[in-house]
A and B are shown apart, each in its own frame.
Chain A
């Protein structure tokens, strides 16, 4: 029955979303329908997760020819790299439907389409198929920000759309270049990522193609200095969209680098890894400092999210098992912590009509449960031991130190910035004096508590028993790193051969 599980997880939400748009149904019905669909996807995701054996290879494969003349296939699969990303997108969506009850039909429909296309992008093993889902996933975001966003939504929409589409189009050209190179080297057309790994690229065009791929992903992550669309888009988007953007879409950028760039461009990747990891570290610091200065909570969280994406990116570019595992783990951790913080801010905005830090204060006295939940998510986001954030960041920094002491040092220290803005914001919003605005703040309702509780438990569980998750992702990470390392290790081998008196070359 699980033969087509991935296809169902992709197309059930998409079709449900389209049907919702086409047929006139009420907003309540559309919310319930969306909720049911997302719960079905969640259950399938859990089943998938439990059944996943963690051997490093792809599972739940689906592979059918699609456009034969160009070797494009409808190929889906999940491995340790995509598993947690897939899980985040399955776990988080039901929350949105449960919390935001007053939105319009189109809003829920767009959310469903976003979910389906994101799962598609995560599961695709064919570059062209990935690209198609990658582009589709922008459309619901475009409509959600543009139709349901804040007062300055138009410029924000244009910025994110043109920015990301420009990146994607560059990737399209690079992707075709990769396919054509494969055709030239092996005489057959394919865009299957496993087969493309055999490709041996070199020369100026390969570097160019590498940068074109990286541009697309760097914009989506967003990696410094491609982050300028982020504050506006995150701030102006309705909360659920910001949540989707930060918790899942940004992660797909990181995931794309690991899945599609590393296997094809091993040499270029190893060559420019230091550059990109520096960009990650600089982004961490820059966005962290910018977050301190923000007055708007959502905008602050936007910068904080970008800052944390920086460390995840650093983990990817360190090219060792610890850092990669850490990044994959942190993807889920960040989605559950920072992502959920966005939801909390959305709730606060809905209840009090403001999200300016200056307007708020003393919420903790009025709403203790809310404050506790918020505190847990916040502490996970700054990486307190015992929460999920700690494990990921620890592993990444461990790997970063192994890769390059300087980068490791910078990454480790800039985490402190995160603590600064988060705790300071928490103090100003949840403690200090209550004012007339916050006085009316009602604590979480039972339904809301039930919605958030699983995620809060998940944050703690991932922090205390990380092994359950790491065993699933580590084999895949090892496999991935082993792919890059033959090149770098052979370089090392060559240098040792050159030492005098100690040679194993034939004389």
Chain B
């Protein structure tokens, strides 16, 4: 994985980058998961793609996969869950959460590369750091700025999404570890 940085992208790297961008899009087609009844908002499986790209492909390729995905959304392809796309969504209230995806994947990949022997718990923590902490650290100030809300109120709104994101962290960790076992040389 560390060799990709030094020798540029091989055919296989380009294919994997495109694949995980497409995977993130395809995950947007899965019906949102409802849990805890109506008490919590339904969660879309889409940000699972972010976590998987980072945890499976590593920093550079994972980050580029999501950069490609966001680029395709920006040019007007309806790839976000619910068939949304275009500049409007990226500039809207949740724009910060979306635009930071490449960085989230990069950071998850970076942490995994620094600790290749990470067990399930540690992997989960890395995924949670990139997929929740970093994402919220960008998304909440953006929302506060766009809606002139102030950080506390924006944070309060987003608290309802945290349980769903934790579920995704667990799923991403299980799937990423499974894929790594199935394809050790990815």
Specify whether A and B are partners. Answer: no
